[in-house]
Amino acid sequence: MADNVESGVLKEYEKLKNLFQDYTQINNTISILHNDQQISMSPGSAPDRAEQMGALSKIAHRLINAPEIKDLLEKVEAAPSESFSKEDQRNIKLMRKIVAEQNISEDLSTAISNICNEGWEKHTKLRDAGDWSQMKDWIQHSVDTMREVGRDKKERLGFASAYEALLDTFNTGMKAGHVAQELGKMEKSLPGLIREAAQKQKEEKPPVAFSGTFPKEQQEELCRRVLEAMGFDFNRGRLDFISGHPSSGGTSDDTRLTTFYDEKNFFKALIAAIHEGGHGIYNQTLPREWRYQPAGEPLGMDLHESQSRIMEVQAAMTPEFFEYLEIQARDIFNRPDDPALSAENMRKLRQTVAPSFIRVYADEITYSAHIILRHKLESALIEGTLTAEDLPQAWNDGMKNLLGITPPDHSQGCMQDVHWPSGAIGYFPAYTLGDMGAAQFFAAACKDRPEIRSELKTGNFKPLQEWLEENVHSKGSLLTTEEIFVQATGKKLGADDYLNHLSERYLGKPYTAPVSAPILPQQKTPEIN
């Protein structure tokens, strides 16, 4: 290509990058406004804030759908690939993906935002009473609309199915078949693992429960110390205690974390702070040279969740971490002799296995069972092999099979989550893919840097943090999820390391796959009428 043509294309690419920078900045501003709403805005200001965020969303939508962006993108894509570095080529590919995803008909776009807004409201209003007759039609409406969204995305972007297209919204590049295969492995093994772990714990001395109160200011101090040890940069971020649900948001240089708290149990604030801190550190250490570009953004929710869970359930549930926590907790709460604060006791409290109905309160090992069930049901709903009419029964059957318990009512059953009523179908697998990823990264990191675990005894997260920055955070979206896993761990994201981790932690032995039941000689099955 002639030099002047090449420099023309590079100029066009620069223009495109500037437009994407504006687009990212608008979305970042929405995130900061959202965080401000949670931590400091007065409740009466909510309608005003909704207007502000709505206006910004409209501007972002208009910007990304502007003919100028489409025109520039087409020109840049038409240039020979060697005009751009490998990283720029990846950035251009991601630009196209964002434009294609945002470029949906106005009808569908309105339908999605209606389901999201109305769904949240309906769920908040109806959940506690658990009246399915009032929720059933709405869930079917949400499923039907999201199926249409999935089909539309499938046609335009070439996914294998409508469900895979929806899955991709939250788990970039994840194939539906691969997710089904890995969750299928877990489904086979988990019920046995849970039973064995619960049985083993029954035979042990139970842990001592926390007693008395743990003042809020002291809990704040503990969370701050632990987050600083983890590597969260308070100079470019903050943590607030709120009454609502914990979250992380903001931008790389203004990372906002929130946690809730319970005066009787400091684990509640601490665990959520560690979880959100893992998300926050990922945001803070994304590649600076790609800031505000698609290639510099975090990858999907599955990878994001692996970064929160590697802190929360891998590092911060090791016996070594509890040694560090004991010293900090005794010091901050001034309880030198409280038996509940011994490292071993806190480990036992954190690792108690007990099947329960509500996903968000589930322990580490039973949590995935809740996700396996939701993945099966939501994919069947989108495929149309299950309807909202039959959902409660399918839910209860699944709970019985996976966890051996049946919810007493729908509020503790199929009406507990906000995801389906608000249209977030395809989201749930991100939680367990995140757990699998966390286990896989942690195993690889400990192999590369054997001092990782022993250093946690003194709260030194540096070796782990350095490994994560080098192998995950600094990659942003420059590589695909699969490439990140293969380069960092030598294999694709899968269930094996996670199952091994659960077996080592809860049963004290390496994982062995369950032996299938012996095949009996075929008998003639009587006709069922």
- In the block, which residue shows the tokens 């694709």? 492
Question: By C-beta, is 150 or 426 nearer to Zn ion?
Answer: 426
Q: What minimum distance in Å lies between the beta carbon of 369 and Zn ion?
A: 18
List the one residue out of 194, 148, 512, 509 whose CA is nearest residue 372. Answer: 194
254-259: strand order across its sheet: 237-241, 254-259, 247-251
- Residue 108's contacts (CB-CB under 8 Å, 6 or more residues apart) are 145, 148, 149, 152
Q: How far is the CB of 388 from Zn ion (least distance, A)?
A: 28
Q: Measured from the CB of residue 301, what is the shortest distance to Zn ion in angstroms?
A: 8
Choice between 323 and 435, CB closer to Zn ion:
435
Of the pair 293, 308, the CB lying nearest Zn ion is at 308
Residue number with CB closer to Zn ion (136 or 374): 374
Sequence-ordered list of residues with C-beta below 8 angstroms from that of 98, at least 6 positions apart, any chain:
20, 23, 64, 294
Q: Six-digit token pair at 19?
A: 């437009």
Cα distance between residue 212 and residue 307, in whole Å? 33
In eight-state DSSP terms, residue 313 is: I
Tokens of 280: 């926050």
Q: How far is the CB of 221 from Zn ion (least distance, A)?
A: 24
CB of 368 to Zn ion, least distance (A): 15
How crowded is residue 371: how many other Cβ atoms within 10 Å of its Cβ?
A: 21
User: Which residue, 154 or 275, is less far from Zn ion as judged by CB?
Assistant: 275
Task: For residue 366, state whether it binds Zn ion (rule: CB under 5 A).
Answer: no
Mask 250-289, x = binds Zn ion (CB under 5 A)?
Answer: ----------------------------------------
Q: Given the complex with Zn ion, which of 64 and 299 has the nearer CB atom?
A: 299
Question: Which residue number places its CB atom closest to Zn ion?
Answer: 308
Least Å distance, CB 310 to Zn ion, is 11
Closer by beta carbon to Zn ion, 171 or else 308: 308
**Torsion angle defined by CA atoms of residues 510, 516, 517 and 523, in that order, rounded to the nearest 10 degrees:** 180
Could you tell me the smallest distance in angstroms from the CB atom of residue 275 to Zn ion?
A: 6
The footprint of Zn ion on residues 291-320 (CB under 5 A) is: 308
For Zn ion, the closer CB: 299 or 399:
299
Q: Of 51-110, which residues contact Zn ion (CB under 5 A)?
A: none
Beta pairing class for 254-259 and 237-241: parallel
Assess contact for 229 and 273: CB atoms under 8 A. Answer: no
Binding residues for Zn ion, total number by CB under 5 A: 1
Report the nearest approach of Zn ion to the CB of residue 170 (Å).
12
Task: Select from 355, 283, 273, 356 the least CA-distant residue to 316.
Answer: 273
Helix (H) or strand (E) holding 249: strand 247-251
Strand, helix or coil for residue 205? coil
Task: Give the separation between CA 481 and CA 308, rounded to whole angstroms.
Answer: 16
Residues that bind Zn ion (CB under 5 A): 308
